[in-house]
Amino acid sequence: MHSNFSKFLDALQSRNRGSFPIWLMRQAGRYLPEYRALREKHSLRDLFFTPKLAAEITLMPIERFGLDAAILFSDITAIAPAMGFSLDFQEGPKVSLNPTSQKLYTVKEDLSQFEPIQEAIGYIKQKSRLPLIGFCGAPFTIATYFMPNWKEVPQEIFIQFLDQIAHYCIFFLKKQIEAGVDAIQIFDSWANLLENREFEIYSLQYIQKIIQSIDVPSIVFMRGSSKNAEKIAQLNPSAISLDWEIPIHEVRKKVSLPLQGNLDPELLFLRPCEIRKKVRFIFDEMKGDPGLIVNLGHGILPNTPLESVYTLIDEIRKMG
């Protein structure tokens, strides 16, 4: 039987049959009124680290839309407390540390900070049989938040910091896998800031290390992923999550791995009939593709109309 459970995981093995699976990056977030209602009553930190709340939010978009995978409600900066840094969200995540001080490497780690996240995964798995995606940020993208002045930091120190972050990323993922996630996604959202050798050593090298350290299917996302798809494919992930810079059928000519993406998030601000037309135009080119997962090319925008999301999902379901 081709159950909902296997549809997403099958696509990660290039075994699509019938319609394409669909989920949306940042699907649990501010465009959902039920999320905003809960957010009014709690701080972001509480939402991320209270197991029942994190589980409830993870399942909000599933209950509303019937997507093919859930993604854990957490954040790439959620590793900060385990690393011994304080984490505060005010206009985006802020981490307290002194980036040029050697103290960076002697802060006291506290791995018990991952326990509420593991507990949240346990609740989600109890309540839903859908595949659950765990995730981490890639070290470079996390570093841009933890060390905003990274460009001024001596390269040697920066690399030590990236190594240290990579260690916690792998630990974070292993804890998520132990608790029951079925696949993971690595977000290197800011990798597009890097070029040539810096791209290799700050971004690709660490992504490869993370992929090699875990034993569930892995998806790699970055801004610039469609342009760099062949390089990312060499790291041997299970799939590449594409931005919309290059049409997906063009990327498919160069890469045989499963592909995820790659709709422009702004598409969801068009009228329903326009959304349907564009979605058909893009994915008709991929008809019969064995390894396609429909998604956006970056996170869903906070003021996206709900009706657009219903329309998108309906159109994809009709294509099968």
Residues found near ligand CP3 in the complex (CB under 6 A): 25-30, 39, 44, 71, 73-77, 89, 92-93, 135, 141, 187, 189, 299
Nearer to ligand CP3, 71 or 263 (CB): 71
Strand, helix or coil for residue 160: helix
Of 187 and 283, which has the nearer Cβ to ligand CP3?
Answer: 187
Please give the Cα distance from 88 to 84 (Å, whole number).
13
In whole angstroms, the minimum distance from the beta carbon of 102 to ligand CP3 comes to: 27
Nearer to ligand CP3, 144 or 164 (CB): 144
The rounded distance, in Å, linking the Cα atoms of 91 and 107 is: 25
CA 54 to chain centre: 16
The CA distances from residue 56 to 119, 120, 122, in Å, are 12, 9, 12
How many angstroms separate the first and last alpha carbons of the chain?
16
Nearer to ligand CP3, 44 or 255 (CB): 44
Torsion sign across C-alpha atoms 269, 264, 131, 48 = negative
Which CB, 173 or 286, lies closer to ligand CP3? 173
> Measured from the CB atom, is 165 or 286 closer to ligand CP3?
165
Smaller CB separation from ligand CP3, 93 or 291: 93
**Max Cα-Cα span within the chain:** 57
**Taking a C-beta distance cutoff of 8 angstroms, is the pair 51, 119 a contact?**
yes
The answer to whether residues 178 and 209 touch, using CB atoms and an 8 Å cutoff, is no
CB of 184 to ligand CP3, least distance (A): 11
Shortest Cβ distance from residue 287 to ligand CP3 (Å)? 28
Q: Cβ 256 to ligand CP3, closest distance in Å?
A: 26
Distances (CA, A) of 163 to 22, 77, 132, 166: 34, 16, 27, 5
- Smallest gap, in angstroms, from Cβ of residue 106 to ligand CP3? 26
Q: Alpha-carbon distance 175 to 292, whole Å?
A: 28
**What is d(CA 264, CA 283) in angstroms, rounded to the nearest whole number?**
13
Min dist. Cβ of residue 23 to ligand CP3 (A): 9
Q: How far is the CB of 103 from ligand CP3 (least distance, A)?
A: 24
